[in-house]
Amino acid sequence: MKTKKQSTLFRLIGYTKPYAPLIVISFIASILSVAVSILIPLMTGYAIDYMIEGAVNFDKVFDYICIIVAMIVVGAIAQWTLSASVNSLTCKTVRNIRNQLFEHINNLPLKYIDTQRQGDIVARISSDIDQVSEGLLQGFTQLFSGVLTIGATLGILFYLNWIIALVVLVLTPLSLCVAAFITKRSHKTFAAQAVKRGEVSGYVEEIFTGRSLIQAFCQEDVCQEDFEKLNKELYDCGFKSQFYGALINPCTRFVNNLVYASVGVVGAFLALQTGSIELKVGLLSTCLTYANQYTKPFNEITSVITEIQSAVAASRRIFALLDQEVEESDSKNQVLEHCDGTLDIDDAYFSYVPEKPLIQGLNLHVKQGQKIAIVGPTGCGKTTLINLLMRFYDVNKGSISMSGKDIRQITRTSLRDSYGMVLQESWLFEGSIRDNIAYGKQDATLEEIMEAARLAGADDFIEKFPDKYDTLLTENGDNISQGQRQLLCIARIMLTHPPMLILDEATSSIDTRTEMKIQEAFYRIMQGRTSFIVAHRLSTIRSCDVILVMKDGNIIEQGNHEELLAKQGFYYELYNSQFANSSAI
């Protein structure tokens, strides 16, 4: 555990290497600040001695006052420089970590994203990195300055009076032992707190995403109970971690006050003595100041241990995500410069979990321009097949070829550029309607965007907005209807004119009248393009060239609409059951 913690810290420190000049400036500023704080008490002691030895030597006292004032100014400048450089170092370091983390998430395979709670991933890139920022800032500033102060103070105490220095040195391990004892026990609680914080964030994100369904099923009370349970667990972890963290400061302060009192007693005794170990009153005052100054860094260091512990725990969660394997690089693969629309699946096997086989021995040969419909009951493998075509997942055995080339030998970018994909769940971002339609073709002109919207049947409602194509959409397009969101997503694909199409329940959220318009638009855009259509409503796929009927990961029937009905098999049952249900309604 210790080695893992140390490796996390060193790895975190490694992100500061590009900003070595800022680190050097911070070191210099810290050394100046500590040097000033060490020398001021010494100058003060000398000034006091010139006040109590017979007549006050005003000239000497004034000289020391000037020196002290100059030191205060230098110390203030050094402290400001230290804060500014450390702040800059921390912000730039955290910015790089966040950029790297976001880039890494973009390159993670879909199979990892599918198994994680989205809210937990969001928590790692937001609150966990913020925790690292706070811990790194306080830890770097106070830890280095504190250690430097402790070493310099102890050295000057030995220079002034070795007896008092030994008193301080002998009592130092007591403070360290107290801090180490508490810190060791608080680390586990802070790690648990970081995990629970991610779980709470994930649950909140999940609830907000499905808030309409939660209200529709009247599950508010259940969600509240579940949240309170998670929140209670987070409270318990937080309480324990803060309890241990709160113990550090008062315990070390008790030891530090003991050190201060011991120095006062021993110093007073020495001040009354004569001989080689005599201690002047001014230097006694200096030693008392140093005793307090010596123990103060312990308080400062231990006071930020809670932040450091949280930063380490948060860093471990961040690095755990960064250590996830990204998609294998395909830079050496061929770029598919021309897609002729042919596709071949030969003896393909795939399963998400080894012990649960899904697709087994799948064979499919698609000609250019064919419209392929994929139907079947829920869980039969329709969406899985689409994921394999797009290489979101790779087959475990067998091969999938596009234009005669194994898609594993083609770059993912050129492969996915060959497809236009409209999903059942629409995705829009916060921005104008124009920007959302042009997402796949950033350099599209307004005329091209308007033509795509017209083909998708989206121009009717867009023109009704006061700002038309400059109308701003909220996050995920919540200020327009689900059907309108889907129309914009369809227009987005129509703008790119890809050689192949994937329509995964693309009209499921659109009313019947609008669906008829969309089907006409799809018919136009699918002319000459190979198209894969996943559909539950079988009435929408009658005109398809080939209908694949899937069950338990296998294609059990294949043919056009008339041929499959004539067989009176599984497709015949599905088709008639839908129309029977429609008639009953």
Q: What count of other Cβ atoms lies within 10 Å of the Cβ of residue 473?
A: 20
Nearest-angstrom CA–CA distance, 315 and 11:
9
> Over the stretch 274-323, which tens digit does the pLDDT of each residue have?
544 556 666 777 777 777 777 677 766 766 666 777 788 788 888 888 88
**Integer Cα distance of 182 and 240 in angstroms:** 11
Residues 378/383/384/389 CA torsion (nearest 10 deg)? 150
First-to-last alpha carbon distance for the chain, in angstroms, is: 64
DSSP 474-509: -GGGTTS-HHHHHHHHHHHHHHH--SEEEEESTTTT
Non-local CB neighbours of 64 within 8 Å, separated by 6+ positions: 43, 44, 46, 47, 50
- Residue 506: phi and psi, rounded to 5, are -70, -20
557 forms bridges with which residues in the sheet?
Answer: 549
Q: Express each pLDDT in 417-460 by its tens digit.
A: 888 887 777 778 888 888 888 887 888 888 888 888 888 778 88
445 DSSP 8-state letter: -
The yes-or-no verdict on residue 581 having pLDDT over 60 is no
The top-scoring range by mean pLDDT among 62-76, 135-149, 206-220, 258-272 is 62-76
Q: Are 393 and 111 in contact (CB under 8 A)?
A: yes
Percent of the chain with pLDDT over 70: 83
Q: Where does residue 391 fall: left (phi above 0), alpha (psi -120 to 50 degrees), or beta otherwise?
A: left
| C-alpha–C-alpha distance, residues 183 and 180, integer Å | 5
pLDDT per residue as tens digits for the range 178-222: 766 766 666 677 777 777 877 787 777 777 766 666 766 677 788
Report pLDDT digits (tens) over 33-59. 888 888 888 787 777 777 765 567 777
Mean pLDDT of 404-412: 88
The phi-psi region of residue 508 (left if phi > 0; otherwise alpha if psi is between -120 and 50; otherwise beta) is: alpha
**What's the mean pLDDT in 519-526?**
71
DSSP string over 530-582: EEEEE-S-GGGGTT-SEEEEEETTEEEEEE-HHHHHHHTSHHHHHHHHHHHHH
Give me the pLDDT at residue 293, please.
73
For residues 536 and 544, give the distance between their C-alpha atoms in angstroms, rounded to a whole number: 14
Least trusted range by pLDDT, from 132-141, 494-503, 538-547: 132-141
Picking from 305, 317, 321, 1, the residue whose alpha carbon sits closest to that of residue 134 is 305
Phi-psi category of residue 444: left, alpha or beta, with phi > 0 → left and psi -120 to 50 → alpha = beta
Return the pLDDT at 134. 75
Can you tell me the distance from the alpha carbon of 549 to that of 553, in angstroms, rounded to the nearest whole number?
A: 10
140 or 542, higher pLDDT:
542
Distances (CA, A) of 66 to 42, 62, 72, 212, 576: 14, 6, 10, 71, 100
Give 3-state DSSP helix, strand, coil % of the chain, rounded to 5: 65, 10, 20
Phi-psi group of 544: left, alpha or beta (phi > 0 → left; psi -120 to 50 → alpha; rest → beta): beta
pLDDT digits (tens, 9 = 90+) for 377-395: 777 777 888 888 888 888 8
**Backbone torsions φ then ψ of 375, nearest 5 degrees:** -130, 165
